[in-house]
Amino acid sequence: MSTLVFWIDVDNTLLDNDRVKEEQNQFLLSELGPALTEHYWNLYEEVRKERGVVDIPLTLRRFREKTSQDELDAQTYQHVVSMFENYPFQQAVFPGVFETLQYLNTIGTVVIVSDGDLNYQAEKIFNSALADAVNGRVMLFVHKQEHIDEITKRYPADHYAIIDDKPRILVDVQHLMHDQTTTVFVKQGKYAKEAFPDGFVPDIAVEHIADLKNIPAEQFWHQKQGSR
């Protein structure tokens, strides 16, 4: 029997990361004021450019190092750290996610394959109950497209459906895996209107993650069937 594995992203695919960031921004404005909040987000972008991914723990450490005690006392800093560590991620899961994961699990094996800093991303996935919804099948990488061999070795299959909100990820994986994959673009979040490079067209595109409940199983095998 042929096997299908889904690799599904987290930020802005399963979980509304844009909403999370805005709520965190509002907390920082309330706790720190506009000047220190801007300082934090500038460091956030600095770290992201250096590492190529968001790294909240590193950003927080750098925020402490580059902000004087007069500007930011220890207690206030700890409030900020606690907000990030205890954010209620379960409230930011998109509507219909758990039903969608349940459906996909009936036609294949669903694996969360996420990128970002490993500690914070793990907290996000486990605290939101997303890990439970896929029976603990979670793989985390700084840049997941650099670990395709590792992922396929851990979860071997005849075909893979890659579900993501970022055009660049879908393009990179398709170029590396060719007709072994079906690319699924979820048009949620800040990348929704980003153009695909080189005229690339995803095999499946949906407005919302919950729309995948309406996609029949055979469509996720699109490229494999088309290449025979």
Task: Assess whether 45 and 102 both reside in one domain.
Answer: no
pLDDT for the residue numbered 228: 34
* Residues in Cβ contact with 169 at an 8 Å cutoff, skipping those fewer than 6 apart: 9, 144, 145, 162
* Domain containing residue 50: 17-89
Query: Helix crossing, 118-127 with 56-65: angle to 10°?
Result: 120
Among the candidates 33, 57, 89, a domain finishes at 89
**Domain containing 165 — which CATH number?**
3.40.50.1000
Task: Assess whether 156 and 117 both reside in one domain.
Answer: yes
SS3 at position 160: strand
Task: Assess whether 201 and 123 both reside in one domain.
Answer: yes
Among the candidates 89, 123, 149, a domain finishes at 89
pLDDT for the residue numbered 223: 54
Contact 107/6 with Cβ under 8 angstroms?
no
Task: Assess whether 10 and 30 both reside in one domain.
Answer: no
Task: Assess whether 24 and 36 both reside in one domain.
Answer: yes
Q: How many domains does the chain have?
A: 2
pLDDT for the residue numbered 226: 40
Alpha carbon distance 181, 134 (integer Å): 20
Query: Helix crossing, 17-32 with 74-85: angle to 10°?
Result: 160
Q: Could you list the pLDDT tens digit for every one of the 228 residues in the chain? A: 689 999 999 999 999 999 999 999 999 999 999 999 999 999 999 999 998 888 999 999 999 999 999 999 999 999 999 999 999 999 999 999 999 999 999 999 999 999 888 888 999 999 999 999 999 999 999 888 889 999 999 999 999 999 999 998 999 999 888 889 999 999 998 888 888 887 889 999 999 999 999 999 999 987 544 443
Task: Assess whether 216 and 112 both reside in one domain.
Answer: yes
In one-letter notation, the amino acid at residue 117 is: D
Does the global pTM surpass 0.75? yes
Facing residues of 163 across strands?
8, 184
Among the candidates 54, 89, 124, a domain finishes at 89
Which tokens go with 14? 């399963």
pLDDT for the residue numbered 227: 40
pLDDT for the residue numbered 115: 87
Task: Assess whether 75 and 144 both reside in one domain.
Answer: no
Alpha carbon distance 27, 70 (integer Å): 20
pLDDT for the residue numbered 199: 81
Task: Assess whether 77 and 165 both reside in one domain.
Answer: no
Contact 212/104 with Cβ under 8 angstroms?
yes
Task: Assess whether 71 and 132 both reside in one domain.
Answer: no
Task: Assess whether 60 and 138 both reside in one domain.
Answer: no
Task: Assess whether 126 and 68 both reside in one domain.
Answer: no
Task: Assess whether 150 and 119 both reside in one domain.
Answer: yes
